[in-house]
Structure 1
Amino acid sequence: MTLRLRLLLMIGISMILMWGAVALWMLHGLDKEMQRTLDQRLAMSAHMVAGLMSQNPAAWDGRTGKAGPSTLSMPVAAKGLACQVSMRGEVIARTPGATPESLATAALGFSERELRGEHWRSYTLETNGLRVTTADRLTERDTLLRNVTVAAATPFVAALVGSLLVLWFGVGSGLLPLERLRQVLASRTPDALTPIPDKPMSRDLLPLVNTLNHLLGRMSETISRERRFTSDAAHELRTPLTAIKTHLQVARITQGTDAEVAMDYAEEGVARLQHTLSQLLTLSQVEGAFSWEDGSVADANEVARLAMRDAVPHALERITLDSDGIRAELALPQALAVTALRNLLDNALRHSPASNSVRLEIRRSPETVSFHVFDRGPGLSDDELALATQRFWRRGSGRGSGLGLSIVAAIAERFGGSFELLQRSDGGLEVRLTLPCMVGSVGEDFKHVLVPSKGSKMPTWPAK
């Protein structure tokens, strides 16, 4: 169903229902008014006849016997009316068609009765010895009401049909700017992400056009970022693959120590390639549609322990942990929290001298948990701090995939946290990773309620 037809049906049905209810209300009131008016006519006719008869009492005073046939000629339109005058039970005057026996027995006032298979409504007045009865046929009343109804409904129906026709063309004219916008969008190529011109455009469509332009801008930015990411990823993967291929070729044509060294280099390239692929998969998982089926809850102390174990499985003494041991549940899956903190520790250990340790501090607040990583490395300049979270960025020819800090920033942004790199005055870097925690999870029992943050999408996990 088209939008034009849908609007016409909605507005048309509303008009029909509204005006139909008004028409029924009007016809109901008209019927009551007509019945009252016709009853008044019967009563006035009876009083008028009684008044005329009382002006000439000699014409009927002392008269006996039944009234003879009336020579009065009644018009066709008056065939539904009847009148009868009686005195002391004897009919002294009546209209043609009136039945003396039936009208004579009519009760005083208004009454309805059936005469010769027809329904009549009568009014009987008794004054000065005279009994005057006037009556009209109910079928005549029904015919009159039907004629009035048809006369009143015909203009209404004609006006309603005309209104629907005008409404059809009016809706079409009102939707014309939307049709123009549809044609503009239909004529665009799939890769056209330039903004839609807002002139000439209906003022009512400007919010829609602005929203579409905003969407096109985000799509263009996303596509550009993905293309850049694909290009960088292809370059990063091609380098270790080329190195692995070269070392394998060297191992094939050499023997002894040279072959072993070439195989060691090949294994190192495979490990680097595996690490890069793992980081890429993690980044894709964080930025894409994430599955919450695991439902495991991350405790800050457990996250720190696992991250330290993964970062330096055989040299835990290189990391100094400063934590008060208070329980604090993070509002994100444990695997991602461990990945983010491990990347920070890996980066700090890589750039710190082997003789210096890396310090990890855990600080809690009612709504967040902050991980602070301090290293004794060379630090970064202001320009390098701005580039540090970009994908595949490495200072100089440094080792690593260049994705670690990008993954940390993506996880923090996805779950409503924050990520900061700060230059220390005494040398090295301070990295702050702040993540949201569960309501009431710091220092007390876990209540399984998430703290929503702006832009985050977090479910409520069921209680254990």
Structure 2
Amino acid sequence: MTAGPAPRLGAWMDALPQAVLLFRPTDTAPRTATVTWVNAAAARLWGVAPERAAGRPLLEVVRRHTLEALAERGGELELEASGRTLRCTAVRPGEDGEGALIVEDVTELRRREAELREATAVLSHEFRTPVAGLKGVLEALEYDMPPELARNFVRQGLQEVERLARLVEDLAVGFRPTRARTLPLADAFARAERLLAPELSARGARLTFGESHLVRADPDKLLQVLLNLIENALRYGPPENPIEVQTARRDSWVEVAVLDHGPPLEDTEALFRAHTRGRHATGQGSGMGLYIVRSIVHGWGGQAWVERRGGHNAFCFTLPGVAGLG
């Protein structure tokens, strides 16, 4: 049995972040193998001193039949162990009769990949509204109309282009609000109603807003929250039923609630998780709307939740208020 790699090579392998285990199949039992050497990372991973690992059966050291089978056949696999994701590679014995098992902790890599997928879904959802607004404007401008009406459509289109430009800029800094300013809620309500007018008309729904309050928020992020909540009420509530947006001052905060006539919801907290849709949801959807709502609201220090108010589902959020309406 070999004593492992030469001292200089062994020192180099001890510096590797990957766990490296060398093994040799036994002559008496071809399906078993004996450990000949482990590097420092392998000793930490399997909790065994290098001098105690050498000469022991492979299964006694790695304590997983999956890894024993991998060492026998060679190849790669990923497995979950104690909350970590491990990428395992086995090199079958070569001419010298020695094989290798290499294990790398890729937990952080997989976490970053999941965050990237989530960020992509968020971006897709956030870009959808201004793109839809621009499409509506361009379709309207195909027809002859009074100059003043055409100018109004152009102004609306420019607003959506500005939103798109700001979203592109946000790619460099993440999804937190960065342009908070003081504004009356009525401004955000008016923008939301204008953008949702075609869908409101198509569904025969009426939208009403409560009292305006002066608040401190990123106007585009606030609009995104309102659009997500009102669109949910339109799509998942009964057709031709009114949608009400209520407002109330709560100490130094302002509460906004979007009320629909939909059936009672179960496990409302789960609705705010990424890629989650309600039991009554139909059609296509990413399940990201309420996740985005809560992420934005938490960004300015507020809260987002769902409660039952009488015969309505109330999708609520809070945002910083400013005393008085000036």
TM-score, normalised relative to structure 2: 0.46
Structure with more of its chain in strand, by fraction: 2
Higher alpha-carbon Rg:
1
TM-score, normalised relative to structure 1: 0.34
